[in-house]
Amino acid sequence: MGGGELKVWNVETGNEGMTLKGHGSWVVDVVFSPDGKRIIAACRGGLKIWDASTGAEIFSPNEGKNCMAVAISPDGKTIATTDNENNIILLESVVPAGGYKSRRTVQNARKDVEQLYKKLNSYHSVIDALVTDSTLEGPVRQLALQIANARLWEDKEMAKDADK
């Protein structure tokens, strides 16, 4: 698995299914997502995530970093990789197929939502505050808005169930 290509073979027929390109360096580890929809490969130039049915590249979350291994959680929401300095890098998805962000970014977004909710006591107000807060980094704001919107929807669903 070198030279920046990853070959996927059909084990039933023995034929090559597709060639995944895009790595600028050696591919050193590969896993399929638990649902079989994604292929995640580690190489000396970062992680690459492809759609397993089309071969289209979906995401390159840590391009330029040496990755020596890759694993994915059973629910498919967390990817773990290691670099050549034995650091562990965790990438987490907060929505299905929504792309992976660093766990620290996700934790910061959750913390921001929790703090705002304690202060404002309304997810509508939290969303308004997140939209207008210019101090938040783009990825943290984006994830915080996704989290706040999901919690707003959950609260509405719980209120409907309580009315029944």
CB 76 within 8 A of CB 99: no
Quote the domain boundaries for residue 17. Answer: 5-94
Q: What is the pLDDT of residues 75-92, one digit of tens each?
A: 887 888 887 777 777 777
Whether the per-residue pLDDT at 40 is higher than 60: the answer is yes
- The last residue of one of the domains, among 68, 94, 120, is 94
Q: What is the mean pLDDT of the chain?
A: 77
| Domain end (from 94, 118, 138) | 94
pLDDT above 80: residue 111: yes
Tell me the pLDDT tens digit for each residue of 58-70.
Answer: 777 665 677 888 8
Check which CATH number belongs to the domain holding 76 and give it: 2.40.10
Asked whether 162 and 138 are in contact (CB, 8 A), the reply is no
Q: Are residues 90 and 122 in the same domain?
A: no
Q: Establish if 99 belongs to a structural domain.
A: no
Higher per-residue confidence, 31 vs 46: 31
Residue of 86 and 4 predicted with greater confidence:
86
Span 14-27, pLDDT tens digits = 888 888 876 666 88
What is the domain count for the chain?
2
Q: Are residues 85 and 109 in the same domain?
A: no
Q: Which of 113-122, 137-146, 152-161 tops mean pLDDT?
A: 113-122
Give the chain's count of helices (H) and strands (E): 3, 10
Top-ranked range on mean pLDDT: pick from 66-70, 115-119, 151-155: 115-119
